[in-house]
């Protein structure tokens, strides 16, 4: 019998009562790939030799400055007992703590971490929106702005990007990731790593990135936050790991272990995922920080009998730094004495942490420059990047009879819904230092007022909000306002705190009485444009059927209102495409384009026939598919060509298609390349995204779009986690979204090696 995952067996064996292994050695596959010797290693080793045990453990402990405890923390820092803080920010504040570190025996600088997720003070669109740009260069630029603003405030480490793939819209954190697709995540997330970390980590504007939450967190059962996850090794490798692997390849310096239990082993105590895959197979040289007390929570998971055993399991698994709980500080000395941990394991963790501190240049330049801090934030350039990204993040979902764009000469326009007048909501759930830049936020109402002609009257009514207790009177008032106008712009959706961490929902409907209000306004005869403002896919079947124009605006950050108005009035042609499927109803969840086949697919010719994999009360198809997004112009796709009908396992083919802007407005089109492995030794998804191109097309212009498709992209992870490429027939599509069947062809992969091919 094959024992596929030695770490799992080792972990089980180590903790069978009566079988306590003293100072467990790493199993052969899990020996940390130790860092080739370099001048930096020499510095790390020299310092490590000088450190006492207490100082070493100190580097493995991160704290949050609980209110009133600053002085206690400063004196512990001066004693060398603390290596990092989170949530200390501002040049003056970080410098005050750093001064304590500089008073310590070895002057090892503190590393300050903060959740700089989509901006520091200049707030960019929430990540799921940013990713609807399908524009890695722009994402890299905006992330670099966030890094510069944070670094000027002494924060040289962010807990971002969140790279969790999720197909679970009930889960509030779907707002923080790249959506449902591993391949897209593996392209877009490394752009964030490059943006944060810059060309050189020691540049004063660079900060260390942290790919999180390692791993599988986005698969929380029932979409309930922090809930357990259970998946095959194949699903782990093919869906959840690819963006992490891509970030490691892009040089990410840190990873965060997650809160979730994964196949019975919580991820913050998981030898297989951290030691074997991350530090072994991927040769990751940076360090792993736990999520907030997630090592201590091994006890709550029922995976450790007490905090001491939790600390032991955290260290053995390879969690190098503990966030806030101090289980390492409290327990490592005794665990070493009892030979339940070895000094080699501690040194491995400390080396990794010191290395990142050296790479950041903190030993040479521990302090932030207080006089430069405010000049670095909210600059006109930063705001211009935020506007560019906000515009590209908007997804036009419906535009019947070209209702949009609107004329700015419109006589009276009604703006309905209190989200339109909110400065807090457009900043999303992780607004970082956004409260200090709240005045800079342009609301939808501000944006519209600034864009219409001087003669236009803009009426506003807050409507029902998201509360279910709004009265009929409130709805009637909203209708009254709408009726006075030629057009009603209804802003509906979720408040910013309804998505993000700890914000799971059991329905995806518009909260409260918003839909009733929209129906009443529509019934009054006024044409309605619906602007959605939300952090997850919503179910809006009635609106999709009955409202002529629908725009997904997400939370777009500081420049929200300007970007929205630029689209509404046609200054900007929308180009965003969805990175997550919008279901028709919650009953369809999980629903994603890359689903597996079934043995009984729906017969297209007889879609209502029984005995097929379908619902009796709904089509299988989503409301809006992955990759979907309209424009004010139209595009035609034609002439799909393959450079060859066959390729071998080392070869590649060129896939080309002509894309034409057939409308009257210039635009950007996101052209997508999908494949399907028709028959394989393990069944494969009905489609997989492999590449995309973002092309600029002037009105009437046609362009040939070319993709290189190498055989290395045609493989999959098999049941024991190996990447294999098998010979056989493949379908290929070039199209505007994941459901586009217009351009389809096929080719054969021949001579694939019999041996497993490792990527």
Nearer to ligand NOJ, 173 or 522 (CB): 173
Nearer to ligand NOJ, 114 or 556 (CB): 114
Provide, rounded to whole angstroms, the least separation between the CB of residue 176 and ligand NOJ: 8
Provide, rounded to whole angstroms, the least separation between the CB of residue 36 and ligand NOJ: 30
Buried/exposed 259-284: b ≥16 CB within 10 Å, e otherwise:
bbbbbebbbbbbbbbbbbbbbbbbeb
For 692, the 3-state DSSP assignment is strand
Provide, rounded to whole angstroms, the least separation between the CB of residue 73 and ligand NOJ: 17
Pick the closest to residue 128 from 86, 158, 87, 167 (CA basis): 167
Q: Provide the mask over 153-182, with x wherever binding to ligand NOJ is found by CB under 6 A and - wherever it is not.
A: ------x-----------------------
- In this structure, what token pair is assigned to residue 6? 């030695």
115 touches ligand NOJ (CB under 6 A): yes
Provide, rounded to whole angstroms, the least separation between the CB of residue 256 and ligand NOJ: 6
Q: Provide the mask over 301-320, with x wherever binding to ligand NOJ is found by CB under 6 A and - wherever it is not.
A: --------------------
Q: In this structure, what DSSP letter does residue 119 have?
A: B
Nearer to ligand NOJ, 159 or 196 (CB): 159
> What are the phi and psi torsion angles at 20 (to 5°)?
-70, 120
Nearer to ligand NOJ, 124 or 668 (CB): 124
Give the whole-angstrom CA distance, residue 251 versus residue 269.
24
Residue 291 is among the residues annotated as catalytic for this protein: yes
Give the whole-angstrom CA distance, residue 130 versus residue 533.
14
Among 149, 276, 291, 359, binds ligand NOJ (CB under 6 A): 291
> What are the phi and psi torsion angles at 340 (to 5°)?
-90, -15
The sheet carrying 210-214 orders its strands as 210-214, 254-257, 287-290
The sheet carrying 322-323 orders its strands as 157-158, 111-114, 84-86, 61-63, 322-323
**Total residues contacting ligand NOJ (rule CB under 6 A)?**
7
Provide, rounded to whole angstroms, the least separation between the CB of residue 575 and ligand NOJ: 30
| Cα distance from N-terminal residue to C-terminal residue, the chain | 25
- In this structure, what token pair is assigned to residue 592? 């994603």
Provide, rounded to whole angstroms, the least separation between the CB of residue 155 and ligand NOJ: 12
Determine the distance from the C-alpha atom of residue 88 to the mean position of all C-alpha atoms in its chain, rounded to a whole number: 24
Q: Provide the mask over 629-668, with x wherever binding to ligand NOJ is found by CB under 6 A and - wherever it is not.
A: ----------------------------------------
Provide, rounded to whole angstroms, the least separation between the CB of residue 172 and ligand NOJ: 11
Provide, rounded to whole angstroms, the least separation between the CB of residue 292 and ligand NOJ: 4
Nearer to ligand NOJ, 247 or 404 (CB): 247
Contact 176, 576 (CB under 8 A): no
Nearer to ligand NOJ, 292 or 542 (CB): 292
Q: What contacts 646, CB < 8 A, 6 or more positions away?
A: 747, 748, 749, 750
Q: Residue 528 forms beta bridges with which residues?
A: 488
Site for ligand NOJ in 70-89 (CB under 6 A): 86
Pick the closest to residue 161 from 274, 235, 250 (CA basis): 250
- Please state whether 302 falls in left (phi above 0), alpha (psi between -120 and 50) or beta: left
Site for ligand NOJ in 666-685 (CB under 6 A): none
Q: Residue 287 forms beta bridges with which residues?
A: 254
Nearer to ligand NOJ, 9 or 292 (CB): 292
Among 292, 363, 542, 723, binds ligand NOJ (CB under 6 A): 292
Nearer to ligand NOJ, 211 or 528 (CB): 211
Q: In this structure, what DSSP letter does residue 286 have?
A: S
Nearer to ligand NOJ, 70 or 501 (CB): 501
Determine the distance from the C-alpha atom of residue 523 to the mean position of all C-alpha atoms in its chain, rounded to a whole number: 39
Whose CB is nearest to ligand NOJ?
A: 159
Nearer to ligand NOJ, 125 or 172 (CB): 172
> What are the phi and psi torsion angles at 175 (to 5°)?
-70, -20
CB count, 10 Å around CB of 92?
11
Contact 329, 296 (CB under 8 A): no
Give the whole-angstrom CA distance, residue 372 versus residue 24.
49
Provide, rounded to whole angstroms, the least separation between the CB of residue 175 and ligand NOJ: 12
For 643, the 3-state DSSP assignment is coil
Q: Residue 646 forms beta bridges with which residues?
A: 748
Nearer to ligand NOJ, 26 or 159 (CB): 159
Contact 445, 420 (CB under 8 A): yes
Site for ligand NOJ in 196-255 (CB under 6 A): 212
Provide, rounded to whole angstroms, the least separation between the CB of residue 519 and ligand NOJ: 38
The active-site residue out of 291, 322, 348, 677 is 291
What would the 3-class secondary structure string for 271-309 be?
HHHHHHHHHHHCCCCCEEEECCCCCCCHHHHCCCCCHHH
Give the whole-angstrom CA distance, residue 173 versus residue 690.
25
Q: What contacts 46, CB < 8 A, 6 or more positions away?
A: none
Provide, rounded to whole angstroms, the least separation between the CB of residue 356 and ligand NOJ: 17
Pick the closest to residue 405 from 631, 740, 179, 744 (CA basis): 631
Give the whole-angstrom CA distance, residue 501 versus residue 519.
31
Nearer to ligand NOJ, 93 or 291 (CB): 291
Provide, rounded to whole angstroms, the least separation between the CB of residue 500 and ligand NOJ: 10
Nearer to ligand NOJ, 212 or 513 (CB): 212
Give the whole-angstrom CA distance, residue 261 versus residue 228.
5
Provide, rounded to whole angstroms, the least separation between the CB of residue 253 and ligand NOJ: 15
Cis (ω within 30 of 0) for the bond into 460? no
Give the whole-angstrom CA distance, residue 575 versus residue 96.
46
Q: Which helix (H) or strand (E) holds 514?
A: helix 514-523
Give the whole-angstrom CA distance, residue 159 versus residue 452.
40
Q: Residue 412 forms beta bridges with which residues?
A: 457
Angle 560-568/380-393 helices, nearest 10 degrees?
Answer: 50
- In this structure, what token pair is assigned to residue 432? 């970082």
The footprint of ligand NOJ (CB under 6 A) covers 86, 115, 159, 212, 291-292, 501
The residues annotated with a catalytic role in the active site are 291
């Amino acid at each position: 019998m094959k024992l596929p995952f030695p770490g799992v067996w080792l972990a089980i064996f180590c903790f069978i009562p009566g079988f306590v292994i003293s100072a467990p050695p790493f199993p052969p596959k899990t020996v940390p790939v130790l860092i080739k010797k370099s001048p930096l290693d020499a510095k790390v080793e020299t310092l490590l030799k000088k450190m006492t045990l207490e100082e070493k453990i100190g580097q493995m402990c991160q704290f949050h400055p609980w209110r009133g405890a600053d002085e206690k923390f400063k004196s512990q820092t001066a004693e060398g007992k603390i290596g990092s803080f989170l949530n200390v920010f501002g040049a003056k504040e970080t410098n005050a703590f750093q001064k304590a570190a500089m008073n310590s025996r070895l002057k090892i600088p503190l590393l300050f971490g903060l959740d700089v997720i989509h901006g520091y003070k200049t707030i960019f669109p929430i990540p799921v929106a940013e990713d609807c740009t399908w524009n890695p260069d722009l994402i890299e630029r905006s992330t670099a702005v966030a890094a510069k603003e944070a670094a000027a405030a002494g924060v040289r480490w962010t807990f971002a990007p969140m790279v969790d793939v999720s197909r679970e819209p009930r889960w509030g954190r779907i707002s923080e990731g790249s959506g449902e697709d591993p391949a897209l995540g593996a392209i877009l997330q490394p752009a964030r790593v490059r943006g944060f970390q810059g060309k050189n980590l020691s540049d004063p504007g660079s900060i260390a990135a942290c790919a999180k939450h390692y791993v599988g967190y986005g698969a929380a059962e029932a979409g309930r936050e922090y809930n357990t996850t259970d998946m095959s090794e194949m699903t782990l490798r093919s869906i959840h790991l690819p963006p992490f692997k891509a970030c490691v390849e892009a040089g990410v310096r840190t990873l965060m272990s997650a809160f979730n239990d994964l196949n019975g082993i919580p991820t913050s105590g998981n030898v297989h995922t951290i030691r074997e895959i991350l530090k072994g197979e991927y040769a990751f040289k940076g360090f792993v920080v736990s999520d907030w007390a997630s090592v201590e929570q091994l006890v709550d998971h029922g995976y450790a009998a007490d905090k001491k055993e939790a600390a032991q399991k955290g260290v053995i698994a390879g969690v190098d730094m503990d966030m806030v709980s101090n289980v390492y500080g409290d327990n490592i000395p005794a665990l070493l004495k009892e030979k339940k941990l070895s000094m080699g394991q501690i040194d491995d963790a400390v080396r990794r942490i010191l290395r990142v501190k050296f790479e950041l240049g903190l030993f040479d330049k521990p302090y932030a420059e207080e006089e430069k801090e405010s000049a670095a934030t909210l600059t006109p350039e930063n705001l211009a990047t935020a506007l560019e990204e906000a515009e590209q993040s908007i997804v036009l979902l419906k535009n019947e009879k070209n209702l949009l764009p609107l004329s700015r000469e419109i006589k009276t326009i009604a703006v309905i819904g209190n989200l339109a007048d909110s400065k807090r909501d457009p900043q999303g759930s992780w607004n970082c230092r956004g409260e200090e830049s709240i005045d800079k936020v342009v609301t939808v109402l501000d944006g519209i007022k600034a864009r219409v002609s001087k003669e236009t009257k803009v009426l506003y009514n807050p409507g029902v909000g998201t509360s279910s207790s709004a009265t009929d009177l409130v709805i009637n008032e909203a209708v009254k306002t709408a009726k006075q106008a030629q057009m009603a712009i209804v802003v509906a959706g979720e408040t910013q705190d309804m998505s993000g961490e700890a914000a799971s929902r059991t329905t995806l409907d518009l909260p409260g009485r918003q839909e009733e209000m929209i129906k009443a306004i529509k019934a009054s005869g006024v044409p309605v444009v619906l602007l959605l403002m939300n952090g997850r896919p919503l179910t809006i079947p009635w609106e999709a059927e009955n409202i002529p124009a629908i725009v997904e605006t997400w939370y777009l950050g500081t420049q929200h209102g300007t970007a929205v108005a630029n689209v509404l009035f046609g200054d900007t042609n929308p180009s965003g495409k969805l990175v997550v499927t919008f279901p028709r109803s919650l009953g369809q969840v999980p629903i994603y384009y890359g689903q597996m086949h079934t043995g009984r697919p729906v017969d297209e010719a007889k879609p209502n026939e029984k005995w097929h994999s379908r619902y009796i009360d709904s089509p299988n198809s989503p409301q809006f598919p992955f990759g979907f997004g309209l424009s004010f112009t139209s595009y035609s796709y034609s002439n799909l060509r393959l450079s060859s009908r066959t390729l071998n396992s080392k070869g590649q083919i060129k896939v080309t298609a002509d894309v034409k802007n057939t409308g009257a407005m210039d635009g950007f089109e996101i052209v997508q390349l999908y494949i399907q492995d028709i028959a394989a030794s393990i069944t494969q998804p009905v489609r997989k995204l492999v590449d995309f191109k973002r092309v600029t097309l002037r009105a009437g212009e046609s362009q040939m779009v070319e993709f290189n498709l190498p055989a290395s992209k045609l493989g999959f992870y098999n049941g024991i986690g190996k990447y294999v490429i098998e010979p056989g027939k493949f379908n290929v599509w070039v199209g505007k979204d994941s459901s586009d069947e217009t351009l389809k062809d096929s080719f054969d992969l021949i001579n694939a090696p019999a041996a497993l091919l490792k990527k």
